[in-house]
Structure 1
């Protein structure tokens, strides 16, 4: 009798933050690419979105009240909104951020998120501007280029040391005179 222990991977369903109405968010995004809870001012965020769009960032901002149970819920919401809106979607809670983009790599998004977290609900505009500034910043240094330059430098040093050592050895080699040679019989 054979027993198979193979197991299939089933992806988890996206879990949105509690009390989230995706259809209402999508309707709210339609006018100015910002969706925020009732009573929350959207004008400042709409200006940031407009500025980002002027610089080529197809941005949508969603604000949810409080903090969901886990931060990953914000990314799930951003992903669901991104399926409809495309571009780059940023979801802010009081202290966390979730992002999705069909333009930027996950590493770049998370790098931009790092300085935008933990600003509190009263400073969402500041957090949004920080995120946009980081997305607009030129790409960081190329580690491939740095590794190539360091490797080329190391090879040049090794070749140089070999050259110096071989010249030194040639210069200090004893010169045999005819008197020092043994007669061949």
Structure 2
């Protein structure tokens, strides 16, 4: 008998009230402690002005597992849409309906290790996402094409020299 996989229910941090988070995000795209709320609202507003539909959530302590931050970001994103950044003192969780997981995780790396400075972490996250993306696949393909043209050109030159020596 085959068993199918059933997705687990989201596992949110135990002390987070999802309804309160959603109310804060719905109001000004930020749910954070009062001491950093205004600065984070400015970061979210600037990101939105630049075309990045960003919501920011800050929780005051690390959850049991870092994956709980991604679950929280996913739950917020399903309601609010766009890109959601969830910060705890040491970890980062994200969700986006428009940015690839690879780009998000790269931006997460930039936002980590800020010593609990959520404003710094949020700004690093936004800066990383707004930095033009280098497609290493495109660069590799371009280099391979140039190499192929170079090899073909050298072959034609050598073949021409061989014909001129033969005559």
TM-score, length of structure 2 as denominator length? 0.89
Q: Does 1:116 align with 2:114?
A: no
State yes or no: 1:58 paired with 2:63.
no
Query: What's the CA shift string for 1:79-119, capped at 9, x where partnerless?
Result: 00111111111100001110111121111111111111121
| Matched length | 167
Gaps of 5+ in 2: none
**Bigger Rg, structure 1 or 2:** 1
Label 1:153 to 1:30 Cα distance change in 2 as closer, same or farther (>3 A).
closer
Specify which of 30, 47, 54 is matched with residue 42 of structure 2: 47
Listed as ranges, the gaps of 5+ residues in structure 1 are 176-185
CA distance in 2, matches of 1:172, 1:41: 79
Residue 148 of structure 2: which of 155, 162, 168 is its match?
155
Measure the CA separation in 2 of the matches of 1:72 and 1:116.
Answer: 16
- Residue in 2 that maps onto 1:146: 139
Residue in 2 aligned with 1:11? 7
Which structure: greater helix fraction? 2
Q: 1:69 aligns with which of 64, 67, 83?
A: 64
Deviation at 1:75, TM superposition (A): 0.4
